[in-house]
Structure 1
Amino acid sequence: MLKYLLSRVGQAVVVIFVVTLIVFFLLHQIPGGPARGALGLYATPEQIAAFNQAQGFDRSLPEQYGRFLLRLLQGDLGDSFTLNQSVGDLIAQRLPKTLVLTVLYVLVALAIAVPLGMWQAPRRGRVADYVTTGVTFVLYSTPAFFLAFVLIIVFSQTIPLFPAQAPQSDTLAGIFAEPGALVLPVATGAAATVAVFSRYMRSSVLDNLSEDYVRTARAKGASERQVLRQHVLRNSLTSVVAMLGYYIPRVFAGAIVIESMFNYPGMGLLFWNAAQTRDYPILLGVVLVIAIATVAGSLLADVVQALIDPRTRKARV
């Protein structure tokens, strides 16, 4: 297990290093350079030269990358062009709120998707399976912004059960102080997530139902419910656990849409507002954080999967 873990950590470090190269490259691909992006189209050559000198953009690219990497290791993601604050501080303020939102809707989705997938698998090819599959495909293909619009119109305007705007508190305690305001954002995020994981769970259960250990359990007199709960469930969860780590980019992408629709004060809304104002340090800082979270999530998923199913680590070492 230790050898497998060290191998995966080494791969994660390499991937993160490549990500820093990509982020650095993107910074220098801004039309007109970072100075033009920060100062606008009407900046004079003198202003651009002064900005480049102050920010170190007049140095060679290897030297710039070295300074960029050193600042990253110190947790310095630069300063916002429009908010005049450290990008690291802005992300630190917003990231916990985004994590609260995403963890809530992923947990709600899993609580629905896992039982739903297990219920569907033994009914493969029946009317109930086709109907459920059709509903999940509709949810999966529905854009998050459209679903958010529908939920707002139905449950905030037509039937005023929940507010259309998420809690605007600067603290996590303030976010939880208005649980009703979280219902629509969480429901929007959970809808498509249920569709994804119920399909994976259904496929995984179908694969396990054809294994020899299931036939052995049935031959020993175990009921279908016992077979599913005591034998199939654990083995079927390995694919879902692995998928969780790889699903992180989609989770954050969904958070951008959901937070902008419900004005939720998280990292997604910060990214959306920065895109409107061309605040490149914030955009690149958020991209870097999401990339690192993706690598960390994939690493964690692989480790958890190896603990659940030792065959996976033997196959990957």
Structure 2
Amino acid sequence: MLQYSLRRLVIGIGMLVALSMLIFLLLRLTPGDPIDAYIDPNLPMSPSDLADLRRSLGLDQPLPAQYLGWLQQALTGNLGYSIKRIDQPVLGLVLSRIGPTVLLMGTALAFAIVAGITCGVIGAVRRNSLADLSLSVVALAGISSPAFLSALIGLYIFSVRLHWMPSGGMLTPGEEFSLGDLLHHLILPAALLSVAQAALIMRYMRASLLEVLNQDYVRTARAKGVREFWVITKHALRNALLPIVTLIGSTIGLAIGGAIFIESVFNWPGMGLLLVDAVQTRDYPVIMGATLVIGACVIVVNLLTDITYAVVDPRIKVG
């Protein structure tokens, strides 16, 4: 297990370096000169001042040298300073936004797991019934609906029309912090973020449980007179959950992509909103730092998922 974990860790580090190279290259290939983001268009600059600024930022060096210089600083924890917030380091900005994003994604993942597994079990146990067909239609709609569309529809229905939920933010401005106020702002964006994940888990759970219910040991348990409830929960469900472990880990990336849209629509102060603001203002250091942290989180989650799957399923060989 240790060798397997170390091997996966080395692969993850390689993927993270490749991701940083790709993002760095794509940012340099975007239209315009990166130095334009550092210049106030209302203040004239002479060519010599512009050359000095370019030299001080290292933008006069070849692209590989620029990347290696950035990577060397990043390995020490220095991700640079924000262009638009010149007094704030990128690492501090990113760390200040991780908490709200983890809260949003963790709540959404909890919703998705509970709803997806429950609906998947119902669909498998009552196969081809009205409940199964209805849940399948809902799951198909959830998978097909992009996150921004679900966010806009949910915002319009529950905030604009029904006035049940706040239309944005993490807390009510001007009021003291309270857990109830936080939950009131959290429920709607978390529920909307969980839609696609819950639909995927439901479909995989249904298919996995149907496969397990056709196994010989399940038929044997039924032949021995074991109650159907215990056949499902004790014998079938435990084995049917194994593929879901891998699926849950793989949906983290889907949740991060959805969180960017959800946070933008609901003005949730997390990593997604930070990244969107950085892209709009061409804040290159923040884009690089936020992308690097998000990529590292996805890689770590996938690593933990692989290790967890190998632990819970003794049939998996990790040598």
TM (normalized to structure 1)?
0.89
Moved more, 298-307 or 280-289: 280-289
TM (normalized to structure 2)?
0.89
Among residues 57, 66, 69, which one is paired with 2:68 in the alignment? Answer: 66
Q: Residues 38 and 279 of structure 1 are in contact (CA less than 8 Å); yes or no, is this contact kept in structure 2?
A: no
In structure 2, the residue matched to 1:155 is 158
Instruction: Spell out, residue by residue over 1:21-46, the C-alpha distance to the aligned partner (whole angstroms, 9 max, x if none).
Output: 22332343233442234438897654
1:82 aligns with 2:84: yes
Partners of 2:177 and 2:23 lie apart in 1 by 34
Task: Give 1:25-36 correspondences, 5 Å limit.
Answer: 25-36=25-36
Partners of 1:36 and 1:43 lie apart in 2 by 11
- The Cα shift of 1:62 comes to 4.2
Among residues 274, 279, 288, which one is paired with 2:283 in the alignment? Answer: 279
Q: Residues 36 and 48 of structure 1 are in contact (CA less than 8 Å); yes or no, is this contact kept in structure 2?
A: no
Partners of 2:292 and 2:272 lie apart in 1 by 13
Moved more, 7-16 or 107-116: 7-16
Partners of 2:34 and 2:45 lie apart in 1 by 12
Secondary structure (helix, strand or coil) at the match of 1:181 reads helix
Secondary structure (helix, strand or coil) at the match of 1:110 reads helix
- The Cα shift of 1:123 comes to 2.2
In structure 1, the gaps of 5 or more residues are none
In structure 2, the residue matched to 1:145 is 148
Moved more, 202-211 or 24-33: 24-33
Partners of 1:151 and 1:270 lie apart in 2 by 22
1:49 aligns with 2:43: no
In structure 2, the gaps of 5 or more residues are none
Partners of 1:14 and 1:182 lie apart in 2 by 36
- The Cα shift of 1:224 comes to 2.3
In structure 2, the residue matched to 1:121 is 124
Q: Residues 77 and 91 of structure 2 are in contact (CA less than 8 Å); yes or no, is this contact kept in structure 1?
A: yes
Moved more, 254-263 or 29-38: 29-38
Secondary structure (helix, strand or coil) at the match of 2:241 reads helix
- The Cα shift of 1:199 comes to 0.9
Distance 1:223 1:43, change over 3 A: farther
Q: Residues 275 and 287 of structure 2 are in contact (CA less than 8 Å); yes or no, is this contact kept in structure 1?
A: yes
Partners of 2:229 and 2:46 lie apart in 1 by 74
Q: Residues 250 and 302 of structure 2 are in contact (CA less than 8 Å); yes or no, is this contact kept in structure 1?
A: yes
The amino acid across from 2:70 in the alignment is: F
Q: Residues 171 and 185 of structure 2 are in contact (CA less than 8 Å); yes or no, is this contact kept in structure 1?
A: no
In structure 1, the residue matched to 2:306 is 302
- The Cα shift of 1:139 comes to 2.1
1:93 aligns with 2:67: no
How many residues of Structure 1 are paired with residues of Structure 2 in the alignment?
313
Among residues 149, 165, 170, which one is paired with 1:167 in the alignment? Answer: 170
In percent, how many aligned pairs have the same letter?
Answer: 36
Q: Residues 167 and 175 of structure 1 are in contact (CA less than 8 Å); yes or no, is this contact kept in structure 2?
A: no
Moved more, 281-290 or 85-94: 281-290
Partners of 1:175 and 1:51 lie apart in 2 by 47
Secondary structure (helix, strand or coil) at the match of 2:67 reads helix
Partners of 1:169 and 1:49 lie apart in 2 by 47
Instruction: Spell out, residue by residue over 1:213-262, the C-alpha distance to the aligned partner (whole angstroms, 9 max, x if none).
Output: 32332233322221211122222222221112222221111111111111
The amino acid across from 2:267 in the alignment is: N
- The Cα shift of 1:95 comes to 1.0
In structure 1, the residue matched to 2:19 is 19
- The Cα shift of 1:311 comes to 2.2
Secondary structure (helix, strand or coil) at the match of 1:311 reads coil
Partners of 1:308 and 1:257 lie apart in 2 by 34
- The Cα shift of 1:96 comes to 0.8
- The Cα shift of 1:169 comes to 7.7
Instruction: Spell out, residue by residue over 1:155-196, the C-alpha distance to the aligned partner (whole angstroms, 9 max, x if none).
Output: 2233222211232489xx948451212121112112222111
- The Cα shift of 1:138 comes to 1.2
- The Cα shift of 1:303 comes to 0.5
Moved more, 295-304 or 159-168: 159-168
Distance 1:216 1:49, change over 3 A: farther
